[in-house]
Structure 1
Amino acid sequence: MFKYLISFSMFSITLFANENQIPDLTSTWVGFATLIIFIIGYYFVANEEKYHMDKAIPALFIGIFSFLLIAVYYYFNGLDIHLVHDESEKVILEIAEIFFFLFVAMTYIECLLHMHVFDALKYKLISRGYTYKKLFWLTGLIAFFLSPIADNLTTALILSTVLITIEKENKEFLVPSAINIVVAANAGGAWSPFGDITTLMAWTAGKGSFSDFIFLFPASIIGYFITAFLLSRFVPTSKPVFDSSKEEKLQMAIGAKVVIFLGFITLLSAVISHQILDFPAMWGMMFGLTLLKIYSHLLSIRYGSDHLNIFRAMSKIENNTLMFFFGILAAVGALYFVGWLTLLSSVYNPNVLGPTLSNIGVGFLSAIVDNVPVMSAVLKANPDMNTSQWMLVTLTAGIGGSLISFGSAAGVGVMGKLKGIYTFSAHMKFAWTILIGYFVSIGIWYFQFIVLNIN
């Protein structure tokens, strides 16, 4: 996939300064250095299992070091260093919004784990005698229809937690099921204006109405079903081991249902905060965290401080996942600042690739770079496209992230939950099933928006 990034990047050398008068540095030593550092760093991210190096380490290095290199270049070449300062502050703000959003979502999940919500769900699933294949389809469908409401990352985290409570060792079940959840969560989020950060960005930028996104439902679900069907062929038909005499029937702790309800209130607050009040979505999430803390205090008065300890739940959060996001978003911010991501405005030219091929390519690029910064770059470039093309790039950026395990927030979250099981190499063995579903989704889009002229 890296060859796409390198070949596409050559187009950006012809671009000039943007509206903020930030010079194009793609043809300078610092421009090539940031690109090379990014590629090398991502090599180590992709080979986390091979080198036994946490993916957060190379991600943080390329993100922090790239900006330092740019600052040094500006300083010694007499450029306006304040431009680097202002850009770094923008990147920090973007990271903070995502960071705290994920932080609250992960806190809720850890609380639900502590209150045995997923243990109770696991008992209900396996006690009914479902086979691995039925569990595969059940978790996938839940992910697809929960994602448009809860967002793809939160959905993937919840369902991957269910997976690991059902089965902890059987990779023949866990790997295809983990991929299934990632694909379902990303596909489900692609047809909802607030099901994914990328769709949310496009919606708030006025690139499509609410109904325009809903029209992506056929492309999303049919493409997902194709991938899920192919993946299901590799899932065993046996049943999880279940011995009612040995398997403890855990009940949800007192107050668990209220925590679930508060979780929905938190997500609703995030949507209202962003869509109506024009606040960052994380503001609504932090409000939900406040409600959770208040409720935990009330529970502690009656049942003791260990019944629901929020800070203990926070201590169990996968901090390496958060650090990975920090590093990789900083790295992408550096690539954008020197001018590499502005290539998107040139490839959309009809004399180069044109909108359709460029938007299909965005899906592959989002799998490498991450769909959020790629979509941000497309919106900043603001190529001249009609609604149907904006829906296509929303679709491809959303589902294209599933092509590589770390190409989407959902994939990164599941990698954190299923360490040593759901890895880059494990994902790539089944990537062909996702690629087929990806092109099926594009075919459905073409039939709807081009053949039937829905735009």
Structure 2
Amino acid sequence: MIAAVVACFVIGYIVIVFEHPLRLDKTVPALLMGAICWALLSIGFSNGSLEIVNTEGEVFNMFNSISGEAMEVGHAGAHEVAEEGFVGALLHHLGKTAEILIFLIGAMTIVEIVDLHRGFDVLKGWVNTRSKKRLLWIVGVLGFILSAIIDNLTATIVLVTLLRKLVPDRDQRIWYVALIIIAANAGGAWSPIGDVTTTMLWIGKRVSTAGLMEYLIVPSLVCFIIPFAIASFMKPFQGEINMPVLTDEEEEDRGRLLSSKTMLFLGLGMIVFVPIFKTLTHLPPYLGMMLSLGVVWLVSEYIHPEEDFTEERKAQYSAHKALSRIEMSSILFFLGILLAVAALETVVINGVGALRAVAESLQSVIPNEDIVILVLGFLSAIIDNVPLVAASMGMYDLVTHPMDARLWHFIAYSAGTGGSMLVIGSAAGVAAMGMERIDFIWYFKKISWLAFVGFAAGAAVFLIIESMFNIGVTH
């Protein structure tokens, strides 16, 4: 049965990779993969052929749970205990997945509300260049900085929306979007709120804010700059952008809104407020995003975008219209992928979850910790980096590797930037893929090698700095 779960994941992943040749939306295999993996897990658990690891890290199956509980609650009661344990594990992973999806929905809705009020036209007016190369560096720097402030996922959503205003040709635009994924992931790696994995390490007291920023800012910059420097000499970024010529009436119509600047600064400001909310309240980021969405929605209900604003025109700028414009297919794709990965994290192999078993096998085969972490970086491009980081946190303890040890910083770098090597290897990539319908094979052929060069260069710089200055606490 374990083989069936793994086979389901592998087949589903292959179908996602070849979505264009198969002419099948990637959301379909993702949802089927997530649901079938858990169905197989449930069947195997019910007949006693599979063990699972629950939220407390306890390994059990239907029969050993019954033998341990039968004396107290009876045979039927023990069955219920075992089933509750399975359902609890499922709900735990669903909750973690829902946190990401709700955060994503909130961020996308705020971005769409700002776009309805033509807020990004203000940013468009600030980018006074037709040079493809100059625009590449402008959006790259914005992606690197914004991702550290508002996280790589939200920064990608904002910049893809902006690029739609600046580069009308989609075939040309996806090159910029693909490079933004690299910049956003590099920028998120050195900030405790820039990526979900760095946030996990930060909350788990593996890294401090100052330590993470101090030790990873240079490797992250290298990871960002090298691919962009190479891309600057590539054909897609030579010459000038062909912008559509607007008539005087169209120009006047696009500049008529009174709410553009207000909604732009309010929207971005409320997104920036999310990590502040988390720091002050210690509540999950999605609650801060819901608060921010509520504020932006409230203002959008009463603000007047036009001089002669009527109730009939109100629907054109409402949050209801913004909600209808968000990419729900990418949300569902993310749901399917994360549930499938959660199934692999839950099913037990050799006494631990399957993903942790893979990590521990790497540790036993490759005794060098640095190489193991580099391999985790490559794996994060294939499998979600969240469970990989969770597994690594279980592999190494705080006794031998205390807070701000070199190991934790290298894990933060590798897991954060390694996902750029495949378009589905990071939250930023998945969001960009959903918004611009980027083909997996196209990204693999055109962009993956650039992401690899940046990842390898940044890792080399990190190891050189560590060897020169003996950063952190070594094993």
Say yes or no: does 1:437 pair with 2:454. Answer: yes
Q: Which residue of 1 aligns with 2:407?
A: 389
**Who is 1:352 aligned against?**
366
Kindly provide the CA deviation profile for residues 185-228 of structure 1, in whole angstroms up to 9, marking residues without a partner as x.
00001011111111111111111111111120100011211111
Q: Tell me the alpha carbon deviations over residues 277-330 of structure 1, each in whole angstroms, 9 at most, x when there is no partner.
A: 221110111111111221122227975323531111011110011101111111
Relative to structure 2, which stretch is displaced further, 247-256 or 234-243? 247-256
How far did residue 132 of structure 1 move? 1.3
Deviates more, 1:43-52 or 1:387-396: 43-52
Q: Which residue of 1 aligns with 2:383?
A: 369
Q: Any stretches of 5+ residues in structure 1 without a counterpart?
A: 1-29
The alignment's TM-score, normalised by the length of structure 1, stands at 0.87
Structure 2 residue aligned with 1:227: 227
Answer yes or no: is 1:317 the counterpart of 2:326.
yes
- Alpha-carbon contact 1:227-1:433 (below 8 Å) kept: yes
Report 1:265-414 matches (<5 A): 265-299=269-303, 304=311, 305-306=314-315, 308-338=317-347, 339-347=353-361, 349=363, 352-383=366-397, 385=401, 387-414=405-432
Q: Distance in 1 between matches of 2:33 and 2:156?
A: 27
Q: Which moved more, 1:247-256 or 1:160-169?
A: 247-256
Tell whether the 8 Å contact from 2:148 to 2:187 is kept in structure 1 after alignment.
Answer: yes
Mark the CA change 1:317 to 1:278 in structure 2 (over 3 Å): closer, same or farther. Answer: same
Give the letter aligned to residue 92 of structure 1: L
Do the aligned partners of 1:175 and 1:426 also contact (CA within 8 Å) in 2? no
Q: In the alignment, which residue of structure 1 is the partner of 2:51?
A: none
What CA distance in whole angstroms lies between the structure 2 residues aligned with 1:334 and 1:432?
30
- Counterpart in the other structure of 1:428: 444
- Tell me, yes or no, if the aligned pair for 2:366 and 2:372 is still in contact at 8 Å: no
State the alpha-carbon separation in 1 of the partners of residues 36 and 122 from structure 2. Answer: 46
What is the aligned partner in structure 2 of residue 8 from structure 1?
none
Provide the rounded CA distance (Å) in 2 between the counterparts of 1:121 and 1:390: 37
Structure 2 counterpart SS, 1:216 = helix
Counterpart CA distance in 1 for 2:242 and 2:112 is: 26
Deviation string for 1:23-46 (max 9, x for gaps)? xxxxxxx21111111111011111
Q: Which of 421, 430, 448 is matched with 2:465 structurally? A: 448
Q: Which residue is equivalent to 2:87?
A: 85
Distance 1:376 1:349, change over 3 A: closer
Unaligned runs of 5+ in 2: 49-61, 64-81, 348-352
Root-mean-square deviation (Å) = 2.2
Could you tell me whether the CA contact under 8 Å between 1:38 and 1:331 is conserved in 2?
yes
Query: Closer, same or farther in 2 for the Cα pair 1:326/1:380, shift >3 Å?
Result: farther
The residue that corresponds to 1:47 in the other structure is 18
- Mapped pair 1:239 → 2:234: no
Give the Å deviation of 1:230. Answer: 1.6
CA distance in structure 1 between the partners assigned to 2:395 and 2:321 by the alignment: 43
Q: In the TM superposition, what is the alpha-carbon distance from 1:428 to its structure 2 partner?
A: 1.1
Distance 1:340 1:53 in 2: 29
Pairing 1:64–2:42 present? no
- Contact 1:270–1:285 (Cα < 8 Å) also in 2: yes
Structure of higher CA gyration radius: 2
Please name the residue that 2:74 is paired with.
none
Q: CA deviation at 1:432?
A: 1.2
Q: Which amino acid in 1 is paired with 2:455?
A: Y
Letter in 2 for 1:375: V
Distance apart, 1:374 and its partner CA: 2.1
Residues 344 and 378 of structure 1 are in contact (CA less than 8 Å); yes or no, is this contact kept in structure 2? Answer: no
Among 70, 81, 94, the residue aligned to 2:96: 94
Identity %: 29
Instruction: Quote how far apart the aligned CAs of 1:252 are.
Output: 7.2
Question: What is the CA distance between 1:346 and its match in structure 2?
Answer: 1.6
Is residue 190–residue 196 contact of structure 1 (8 Å, CA) maintained in 2? yes
Worse overlay, 325-334 or 257-266: 257-266
153-162 or 342-351, which deviates more? 342-351
Q: 1:121 and 1:267, CA in 2 relative to 1: closer, same or farther beyond 3 A?
A: closer
* Residue of structure 2 in register with 1:179 after alignment: 178
**Letter in structure 1 aligned against 2:8:** I
Equivalence for 1:105: 107
For normalisation by structure 2, the TM-score amounts to 0.83
Deviations 1:393-439 (A, max 9, x none): 100100001000111111111112212xx321121123112111111
Partner of 1:24: none
The amino acid that maps onto 1:168 is P
Structure 1 range deviating more: 385-394 or 244-253? 244-253
| AA partner of residue 141 (structure 1) | V
Partner in structure 1 of residue 75 of structure 2: none
- Name the amino acid aligned to 2:88: D
CA 1:56–1:142: 2 relative to 1, 3 Å: same
Amino acid across the alignment from 1:226: I
Q: Tell me the distance in 2 between the aligned counterparts of 1:436 and 1:154.
A: 25
Question: 1 CA distance for matches of 2:261 and 2:375?
Answer: 43
**2:72 equivalent in structure 1:** none
Letter in 1 for 2:464: F
CA distance in 1 between partners of 2:421 and 2:466 (Å): 24
CA distance in 2, matches of 1:251, 1:413: 29
The residue correspondences of 1:55-204 to structure 2 (distance < 5 A) are: 55-77=26-48, 78-79=62-63, 80-122=82-124, 124-125=126-127, 128-169=128-169, 171=171, 173-204=172-203
Relative to structure 1, is the Cα distance of residues 377 and 296 closer, same or farther in structure 2, using a 3 angstrom cutoff?
same
- 1:35 is matched with 6
Distance 1:100 1:117, change over 3 A: same
The 3 A distance-change label for structure 1 pair 441 and 69 is: same
Aligned residues: 421
Is the 1:223–1:437 Cα contact (8 Å) retained in structure 2? yes
Deviation at 1:361, TM superposition (A): 0.8
What is the alpha-carbon distance in structure 1 between the residues aligned to residue 160 and residue 273 of structure 2? Answer: 24
1:300 and 1:307 in contact (8 A); partners too: no
